[in-house]
A and B are shown apart, each in its own frame.
Chain A
């Protein structure tokens, strides 16, 4: 199994809503990532978890809250988002020296 599975594929939420994005991998990877990608831009790193501990936070606003319940799962909790947070959110995982495997992403629209 070389897949990273993200749910949901699409999400529309209001600025007062609370929602969560989910990501799952069963490749035994030690590192898991959240990226944000705006149209015609490269993915921007948001968070990195290494061995289930948050190792990198790229100064992301607190309305985004990551969680790693176990080595296979990664969540991104969303609260009080702004319209400019609308984007494709990508999850990835990797071994130490290997490539990152990406999910298909969640396309988020904040209204």
Chain B
């Protein structure tokens, strides 16, 4: 069975400092992994995806993530936080063999001016 753990329910950073949002997954098969962002009262926007190609994945707005199979991790990073990055971030796993898309519990990112 697949599952996703996001180790921090809330992360607070100062504007201009690095962001690290942690994600670990459990999957029986080779999964596809994604990060989505949700701003308040908005829909879900895809930040980036890993689908068994390069392990370092670059996404939109300066975000990137590295897939580490040995650690079953897919942590999200950004070198310099911007105020507009304040939002809820979800790590998502998809087992392509049967189309099941499962969300992690989410990490709320606050950016302090």
Contact = CB atoms under 8 A, between A and B. Distances in A.
B102 A45 contact: yes
Nearest to A43: B103
B74 to A, nearest CB: 14
A102 B104 contact: no
Contacts of A101: 46
Interface string A42-73: 11110010100001100000000000000000
Chain B interface category by residue count: 20 to 34
B44 A48 contact: no
A21 B108 CA distance: 29
A102 B101 contact: no
B99 to A, nearest CB: 4
A50 B101 CA distance: 13
A29 to B, nearest CB: 10
A97 B98 contact: no
Nearest to A50: B99
Contact of B32 (A43, A48, A97, A103): A97
A56 B98 contact: yes
Given A42-B103, A56-B98, A99 B43 contact: no
A15 B36 CA distance: 33
A97 B43 contact: no
Nearest to A31: B99
Nearest to B101: A100
Given A97-B32, A98-B51, A103 B43 contact: yes
Given A42-B106, A90-B44, A55 B49 contact: no
Contacts of B106: 41-42
Given A42-B103, A43-B103, A104 B98 contact: no
A56 B100 contact: yes
A104 B51 CA distance: 25
Contacts of B34: 99-100
Nearest to B36: A102
